[in-house]
Amino acid sequence: MTTIAVAIICKTPSPGKSKTRLSPPLPPEDCAEISGCFIADLAATIAGLSEGGDAPGYAVYTPVGSQEELRHLLPDGFGLVPQGEGDLGRRLDQGITDLLAQGHAGAILVNSDSPTLPRHILRAAVQALKSGDNAVISPALDGGYTLIGLSRPHPELFADIPWSTDTVYSLTLERARKIGVPVISLDPWYDVDDARSYAMLEDELDGRPLPFSAAGQPVQEAPRTRAFVRRRQTVMAS
């Protein structure tokens, strides 16, 4: 069976070190808690995706030594791969390389900031990598990308990219054209990494449709994230 690894690239939650751009409005302890909710919900979505056996789930994690704490957030059967050293580009390239070395025909890295990422986007990414030597990307609303997948390593795709800017996605497409890697772009989604995007998450979980979501697609349930948001809304209203 052709398998495509689907991995969350993540940091094991820790107060003061997780989701710091969400503080404020959240205190550091809540930032760590919601980070764990995001990882757990996204991992559950990936686990459901992989029930057919063609999309095994992984966490590409940091810091080394935190794997036992991280395992509490992951479904049984999830693989653990430590992140490499260097900037984000080098760590993304190393993560792809390490997953492909497990014998998979492709590898997808998903950021840990999108707890409601729809399953249909992940499934489309898996199918795209089965179609040949190409890259697959789901753009993020902030100009980055929610996921990127490759069927073989292309370190040039990640080199000298100005990470955490609104040009990451466009520059990655330009780089792919220069090195001759076909790109399949999927539906966009959003990262929850500041007060504005947290408000967008609240809107989505309250049932208000997002303008960029595909018509008729159900909201990915994200139960742990939903419980956190509901609890915080109750506290703020009291």
* Helix or strand holding residue 230 (H, E): helix 223-237
Dist. CA 182–CA 102, nearest whole Å: 24
Whether the pLDDT of residue 163 is over 80: the answer is: yes
* 213: pLDDT strictly greater than 90: no
Q: Is residue 130 a contact partner of residue 179, using CB atoms and an 8 Å limit?
A: no
- Domain borders along the chain are 4-237
Query: What single letter denotes the amino acid at residue 167?
Result: T
- Mean pLDDT, to the nearest integer, of 184-208? 93
79 forms beta bridges with 58
Of residues 229 and 215, more confidence is placed in: 229
Q: 30: Cβ–Cβ under 8 A, 6 or more apart, which residues?
A: 22, 23, 228, 232
Percent of the chain predicted with pLDDT > 70: 99
Q: Which segment of 40-44, 192-196, 213-217 scores lowest on mean pLDDT?
A: 213-217
What type of residue sits at position 68?
E
Surface-to-core class of residue 54, CB atoms within 10 Å of its CB (0-12 exposed, 13-18 middle, 19+ buried): middle
Average pLDDT, stretch 18-35?
Answer: 93
**What tokens were used for 101?**
């070395």
Residue 211 has what pLDDT? 83
Average pLDDT of the chain, as a whole number: 94
User: What are the φ/ψ torsions at residue 141 (nearest 5 degrees)?
Assistant: -65, -25
pLDDT at 215: 63
Report whether 221 contacts 133 (CB < 8 A): no
pLDDT for 216: 64
What is the tens place of the pLDDT at every residue in 191-202? 999 999 999 999
Does residue 218 carry a pLDDT above 80?
A: no
Strands 57-62 and 4-11 turn out to be parallel
pLDDT tens-place string over residues 85-123: 999 999 999 999 999 999 999 999 999 999 999 999 999
DSSP 58: E
Angle between helices 28-49 and 119-130 (to 10 degrees): 50
Give the H/E segment covering residue 185. strand 183-185
In CATH, 4-237 is 3.60.70.12: no
